[in-house]
Structure 1
Amino acid sequence: MRNINDLPNDLLVKILSSVPTKVAVSTCLLSKRWGSVWKLISKLDYDDSLSDAPSGFIGKFETLVVLGLRKVSIDNVPPTTRFRSLKTLSLLDVWFSSDETVTRLLSCCPILETLIVHRWGRDKVKTFAICVPSLKSLTIRHRVGGYHEPRDDNGFVINAPSLKYLNIVDHFSGFYSLVDMPEQLKADIHIRHCDSEKLLGCLTSSKNLSLCLKPLEGAYPHGDFDQLVSLDLCVLCSLDWLNLILRRSPKLRALRLYQAREVHWSCRNSKSVRTKWEQPIASFVPECLLLSLRTVKWFMYKGTEEEKSVVMYLLKNGDSLETMSINFSESITLEERNQMNMELESMPRRSNRCQLSFT
């Protein structure tokens, strides 16, 4: 049987890549042959169970493609650190000593494409700046345990002109600044405290939007959503955004109305205020309702007067509408569902092609 020490480096690296990082690193104690092989692995998950300082430890790699850091502290990033091959970086509950430390770490990743950031409101970073020209996918989670007031001086600045996908769930930050947002962006935004109008104004070039926002408080954001074809909207907090976005989205094809509690997050905005939907002026019908909107799906429909008013408006004015699917809330009894079915079926429809379905 062949001795494992006789295997070529590329095969040993494949073996080490399939075991936990701590195990892979410990192989350096086996012999001189294994002393530096572990440094050639392309994927590294680093956590606080490793004794070496993270900045010094990860700086030993020039071959990493995927790097995950969890619950570690980074006080500084040596000027010689460079991740020339890194494409995916996860920062999960990482403690940074300053704003500059974050900037320095990200500047070491010239071809980074995917970044995942989970913050828990305990580090010393006030402005978490993400300036990565090559970045294509960005996921941000910012939460804290219990109830905490928002920090107006704590937030994110994002400058990523190549971004294709943006996912934010943030219940703590006080601000977001989106710079040079690209066209054809898919954005999934769930924020509690930030300036919703300003944030949405930076996303007018998005192709797909999923929104759970604070209710409208100030002036409407400038610009039209000329590229928007798909919209998901939380009815618990963001229903008052519906009229605005319909008026400014001439190419919208699919509309999905939902309650954020139905999926893996909950709507924090609705705990402080619920939005109200107002019937638009009858003399003006948004262009998308006349020409492009094909499908409407409503999840967790409860049949409130406000919800019925929205459905009636969409059916009455949706000249291009083909399907409307209603998913009833689990709290609705069978008798109530039957009654709602009859009410909805009896509503006038502008499009004779529109089919109603109930689940």
Structure 2
Amino acid sequence: MGNINELCDDLLVKILLKIPTKEIVATSLLSRRWCSVWKLVPKLEFHDYSYIYHATSAAPSEFINKFLERSITPVLETFHLTLCRRDYAPESFEKWVNVAVARNVLDLKLLYYLICRDPIRFPMSLYAHETLVVLRLQGMIIEDVPSKACFRSLKILSLRDMSYSSDQTVDRFLSCFPILETLVVRRWLADNVKTYSICLPSLQSLDIEYLVGGYQDPRYDHGYVINAPCLKYLHIVDHFSGFCSLVNIPDKLEAEIHLRFCDSDKLLRSLTSAKLLSLCLKPQMDSCLKGDFDQLVSLELCVMCSLDWLNIILKHSPKLRVLRLSRTRHSCQNSRNVRTNWERPSCIPECLMSSLETVEWIAYKGTEEEENVVKYLLENGNLCLKKRWCKASYEILSLGPRS
């Protein structure tokens, strides 16, 4: 077997890409052969958790500076910083980003945990970087977006704990991404945004979370306007906002939606072309739907708040094949008085007699109401009890087609 030291630099670099940056630099101590190999590695991943763990060592700015100064790779493919300390100077942060931009970085992650400081300003040099493909940000404030800014190559964007100067700033910033395919948004109470507008013609996957502690009073003037004609996957969990408007939503969308306070009827009318739905929605009084879910083949409902939707959606879903009921949705773990008792429908839904093949009830408790639902499905559908087992601390009830 040959000696690893006999491998060419390209192969050694591929090996080093699989280990953390600090260990990459430490390989320079192995032998003379390794002294300069680490300088060719097109990756800097630095995670500073020293503040969380109450470390007393000097700020790691020196490590980052020396790595960037000594690195000789012409392209820095990956540049990831996770910072938690309170002693990073904004000018140092800006300088590191400038170096990454000069090295044509492709995958940039700048996570700044807001433990004891205000958000850090979004580096202006990034607006001139047109070859970036992946951008993940946390703990920054976006204010002035240049009129000619355009991330022409960026396909994946993640925005966590961000702040903005206004609603219009969000709109203007997102307009800089003409070919964006994946967007992840994690909001917080201090983002200074009421209407979070997302108008992205190329977007295929959208993931939004807006979680608040306790029972915050809803803000009905806060919410979303989503215009994404190419969207394939939509995931929203929001315990705070009061509206969600979906515009130009395509057919065969897969949507997972947990909204505590929005107008559920209006939202569902925008999703009648969805193919897969997972819902945690409190019904309105006298809820009714106009139009059918003609494409819907799979439905998941939170039984703690959304079981009242069961009769309504089944009635309007002639092609439904899979039904999943669950009480494990985090949107309702601590909810209070969110639903009424299930009532046996007067008419049997078409899907129950023709297309429905599988029913799964996760965290089945066997209450009187749950037994009534199961009994109704068995009596009126082509179903029988298939499996009933325990997984962890909850029971799973499975119904399938009769033999």
1:65, CA displacement in angstroms? 0.6
Residues 300-345 of structure 1, C-alpha deviations (whole Å, 9 max, x = no match): 11111111110011001113x366544569778xxxx9xxx9xx99
Mapped pair 1:143 → 2:211: yes
Mapped pair 1:245 → 2:313: yes
> What is the aligned partner in structure 2 of residue 356 from structure 1?
none
1:219, CA displacement in angstroms? 3.7
**Mean Cα deviation higher: 13-22 or 74-83:** 13-22
One of 293, 299, 302 as aligned partner of 1:231: 299
Residues 86-136 of structure 1, C-alpha deviations (whole Å, 9 max, x = no match): 000000010111111111111100000000001012122111000000000
Distance change >3 Å, CA 203–CA 14, structure 1 → 2: farther
Coordinate RMSD, CA, aligned: 3.4
Aligned 1:80-95 pairs, distance under 5 A: 80-95=148-163
Length-normalised TM-score, structure 1: 0.81
CA distance in 1, matches of 2:393, 2:138: 40
- The alignment partner of 1:310 has SS state of helix
Mapped pair 1:307 → 2:375: no
- The alignment partner of 1:290 has SS state of helix
> What is the aligned partner in structure 1 of residue 45 from structure 2?
19
> What is the aligned partner in structure 1 of residue 356 from structure 2?
293
CA distance in 2, matches of 1:235, 1:219: 16
CA distance in 1, matches of 2:38, 2:174: 30
Aligned 1:339-350 pairs, distance under 5 A: none
**Moved >6 Å (runs of 4+):** 1-4, 11-14, 21-26, 31-34, 329-332
Aligned 1:263-278 pairs, distance under 5 A: 265-267=330-332, 270-278=335-343
One of 106, 112, 120 as aligned partner of 1:42: 106
Contact 1:213 1:269 in 2 (8 A): no
CA distance in 2, matches of 1:243, 1:134: 35
CA distance in 1, matches of 2:71, 2:314: 67
Aligned 1:250-265 pairs, distance under 5 A: 250-261=318-329, 265=330
Mapped pair 1:176 → 2:224: no
- The alignment partner of 1:246 has SS state of helix
> What is the aligned partner in structure 1 of residue 32 from structure 2?
none
Contact 2:167 2:193 in 1 (8 A): yes
> What is the aligned partner in structure 2 of residue 209 from structure 1?
277
CA distance in 2, matches of 1:250, 1:52: 52
> What is the aligned partner in structure 1 of residue 231 from structure 2?
163
Q: How many residues align?
A: 329
> What is the aligned partner in structure 1 of residue 344 from structure 2?
279
Higher RCO, Cα 8 Å, sep 6+: 1
Contact 1:163 1:181 in 2 (8 A): yes
Distance change >3 Å, CA 352–CA 154, structure 1 → 2: closer
Residues 188-240 of structure 1, C-alpha deviations (whole Å, 9 max, x = no match): 01110111111111111110000111133244132100000001111111111
- How many percent of aligned residue pairs carry the same amino acid? 51
Listed as ranges, the gaps of 5+ residues in structure 1 are 354-359
Residues 26-67 of structure 1, C-alpha deviations (whole Å, 9 max, x = no match): 655448987677531211012348x98414042242111100
